[in-house]
Amino acid sequence: MADRERRILPRHAEGVLLRRFATSDLREFQAYRTDAELARYQGWSVQGDAEAREFLARMAQVPLFQPGEWTQLAIVERAAQTLIGDVGIFIRHDASEAEIGFTLRREYQGRGLAVAAVGAAIDIVFEETNASRVLGVTDARNLPSIRLLQRVGMHMTESREAEFRGEPCVEHVYAIPR
Count up the domains in the chain and report the number.
1
Q: What span, in angstroms and rounded, lies between the C-alpha atoms of 86 and 35?
A: 14
| Per-residue model confidence as pLDDT tens digits over 36-94 | 999 999 989 899 999 999 999 999 999 999 999 999 999 999 999 999 999 999 999 99
What CATH number should be reported for the domain holding residue 81? Answer: 3.40.630.30
| Per-residue model confidence as pLDDT tens digits over 62-77 | 999 999 999 999 999 9
| Per-residue model confidence as pLDDT tens digits over 121-150 | 999 999 999 999 999 999 999 999 999 999
| pLDDT for position 1 | 53
Q: What span, in angstroms and rounded, lies between the C-alpha atoms of 163 and 106?
A: 25
Q: Fill in the amino acid letter for 116.
A: A
- The β-bridge relationship of strands 133-139 and 82-91 is unpaired
Single pTM value for the model: 0.95
What is the span of the domain harbouring residue 63?
3-177
DSSP code per residue over 71-126: EEEEEEETTTTEEEEEEEEEE-TTSSEEEEEEEE-GGGTTSSHHHHHHHHHHHHHH
